Amino acid sequence: MEKLKKMFKNKNRKIENLVVFLIILVITLIVINKIIKQDEKKEEKTYSNAELASASSYENTENNLERKLENILSKMDGVGEVSVLITYSQSSQIVPIYNETSKKSVTEETDTSGGTRTIESQDSEKSVVTGSDSNPVTGKTIHPKIEGAVVTAQGANNSNVKANIIAAVEAVTGIATHKIQVFEMST
């Protein structure tokens, strides 16, 4: 009878130990999951800063080019007042620099019957490099592609002035002449 009581006590202790172990394991997994999610949120924030810089760069490039063209065209003979609109097919994009680390390990095991087994494992990690101001370090910037241009000018009713405007816009933007439209500005 005492042996049965000891067996049940030992089984109860084993079960209690197993339950405690499982509770600790679940808590550990929850903590690790929260840490990973926090890292992902930080990485998303870094990309958000890069996207904001990209959008700002896109708007500055667009407005700057339009203003420069308006300034140059208005100084040409016979053009007069000018307004320029340039369309883009995509936005500007900033490509950050990444720190990449990878580890590879190969293990060969031989069992007692003479068989061999090869185990390969590979770990890699990729993170965005940030500067002292917590903004990503830029590897390169992809500028937007210009698709077309519309120009309104006071002197556009003259065919020579219109041809000169088209030639100037083509030279600055590099787009084909059929993608440049010039119209007379209403007074």
- Going from N- to C-terminal start, the domains of the chain cover 2-99+129-184
152 within 8 A of 162, measured Cβ to Cβ: no
Q: What angle do CA 86, 81, 64 make, to 5 degrees?
A: 35
Confidence of residue 132 (pLDDT cuts 50, 70, 90): confident
Q: CA distances (Å), 180 to each of 63, 87, 148, 157, in order?
A: 17, 10, 6, 16
87-124 confidence digits (pLDDT tens): 888 777 777 888 888 888 888 888 878 788 888 888 88
pTM over 0.75: no
The burial class, CB within 10 Å (0-12 / 13-18 / 19+), for 82 is buried
d(CA 79, CA 167): 13
In this prediction, residue 181 carries a pLDDT of 93
In this prediction, residue 154 carries a pLDDT of 92
According to DSSP, the β-strands at 146-153 and 180-184 are parallel
2-99+129-184 CATH fold? GMP Synthetase; Chain A, domain 3 (3.30.300)
185 Cβ partners below 8 Å, 6+ apart? 80, 81, 82, 83, 152, 153, 154, 156
The torsion angles phi and psi of 70, rounded to 5 degrees, stand at -60, -45
d(CA 36, CA 25): 17
Q: What DSSP designation does 185 have?
A: P
163-170: average pLDDT:
93
Which of 132, 148, 146, 128 minimizes the C-alpha distance to 51? 128
153 within 8 A of 81, measured Cβ to Cβ: yes
The SS3 assignment for 95 reads strand
Q: Is the pLDDT of residue 14 over 80?
A: no
14-32: average pLDDT:
83
Question: For 37-176, where are the E strands, in sequence order?
Answer: 82-88, 93-96, 98-110, 116-128, 138-142, 146-153
The more confident residue out of 80 and 60 is 80
